Structure 1
C-alpha cells in the first residue's frame, strides 16, 4: 500500500531542515515564527516600493537633464555624471552621484614584483615603516579582495627610486573601471541655520 501523502500544513520546518508536526511545536515558537514572517513580508513589500521609487526618480531626473540640455540645443550622450538639483526656494535638493568600481589587471602583479625587488635592494631597517605600509596595502580582506584605496595610496609615497617609480606607473596602468553604480540622495533644510539634513530611507538610521 502507498503511504498517505504528508499534509505540509500540519508541519513546520526547523533550522536543521526537519519537519516537525505543529502539535509538537510550542505556541510561543509558532507566534514568533508568525511575527517574523509577517515583518519580513512587509519589509519585502517596502523594499520593492523603494526600488520602484529609485528607478522612477532616476528616470525622471535623466529626462529633466535631457530637457534642460534641449534649451541650449545640446544633445547629451553616454553615462551621466554627478549632479545636484535644487528646488526654487533652495529648501530641498536632490543629488545624484556615480560611484565607479575599480579593479586591477595582471599588471598589478608585475608592480608587486618590482616593489619586492625594491625592498630587497634597500638597506635593512632604514625603510621599515615603508615595508609595513606596502605589506598592508597588498594584504587581502576576508573576501580575498585587495584594498584599492591602499594600493593607490602607495603612489603618494615620496620615494625617488627608478624601479619604484616604474612600479607606480604599472599600478596606474593596471587600474581598470569594472562598472559603476548610481546613488541618489535627497536633502531638506532644517533649523535656524538652514543646514542640509539627509532624508534617509535606511531603517537603521531612522
Structure 2
C-alpha cells in the first residue's frame, strides 16, 4: 500500500477531512463516532479560545482599574507613584473582600554562585572535620540540580536565614546575594473573600479549581 503524501495547508475539498497525519480522508470512510468526537473537540476548544480572549480583556481592565485607584489615592498626598505598583492590597469598607497585586520576580544566579559554593565548601571542611556529615548533606541538597539541570533558587536563598556568624560563611552569603539576578517580573492579581471564621479565602479563577 502506497503511503499518502501529506496535504499542504490549503482549503480542504468537500467530502473530506484532514487527519492527524495531514492526509485527506473521505467522509464516508470515517466512523460516525470519530466525526462526532471531532465536532465535540472543535466546539469545546472554540469556546475555550473565545473565553480566553474575554479573560485577557477583563484582566487588562482589572489591572487598569486597580492601578488607576492607587494613583488616585496618591493624589491626596500630591504625589505620583511610578513604576510597577506591586505588593499592594485594597480592602472593601467592611473588610469582607480584598484585592491584591503581587509581583513575582524570575530569578537566576550568575557565576558568583560558584564562588559562594566554594566558600561554603571551605567552611564545611573545617566544621565537619570531627563531626558527622549531616550538615554537609543539607548544604549539598540546597545546591542540587533538578532533571533540567537547574538549581532550586529558593533552597539556596534559604541558606541566608541560617544564624551562622563565621566570616567565611558571611562572605558566601554575600556572594549568593550578589549572584542573584532578576531577569523578569510578573504581576499577579488575586481576589479574596473572608469566611465566617475571619480567614481570607482566595477566589479561584483557575478553571481546574472551580
Alignment TM-score, normalising by the size of structure 2: 0.82
Identify the residue that residue 75 of structure 1 maps to in structure 2.
80
DSSP 3-state at the match of 2:144: coil
Match of 2:4 in 1: none
Deviation of 1:170 after TM superposition, in Å, equals 0.9
Counterpart residue number, 2:149: 144
Distance 1:56 1:125, change over 3 A: farther
CA contact (8 A) 2:105 2:182 kept: yes
Say what the alpha-carbon RMSD is for the aligned residues: 2.5
Q: Using the alignment, how far apart are the partners of 2:129 and 2:28 within structure 1?
A: 73
Q: Which residue of 2 aligns with 1:164?
A: 169
Spell out the pairing of 1:53-202 with structure 2 (5 A cutoff): 53-123=58-128, 126-159=131-164, 161-191=166-196, 193=197, 195-202=199-206
The answer for the alignment partner of 1:13 in structure 2 is 19
What secondary structure does 1:180 align onto?
A: strand
Counterpart of 1:204 (choices 190, 203, 208) is: 208
Most deviating of 62-71 and 136-145: 136-145
Query: How many Å separate the matches in 2 of 1:161 and 1:91?
Result: 48
Q: 1:171 Cα shift?
A: 0.8
Deviation at 1:116, TM superposition (A): 3.0
Report the 3-state secondary structure (helix = DSSP H, G, I; strand = E; otherwise coil) of the residue aligned with 1:8.
coil
Q: Deviations over 1:84-139 (max 9, x none)?
A: 11223333221111222222111001112222333444545724111111221111
Q: Deviation string for 1:148-197 (max 9, x for gaps)?
A: 11101222334454333322221121112222111111223444x45433
Residues matched between the structures, number: 199
**SS of aligned partner of 2:85:** coil
Question: Quick one: structure 1 residues 113 and 43, their matched pair in 2 at CA, closer, same or farther if it must change by over 3 Å?
Answer: same
Unaligned 5+ segments in structure 2 are 1-7
- SS of corresponding position for 1:139: coil
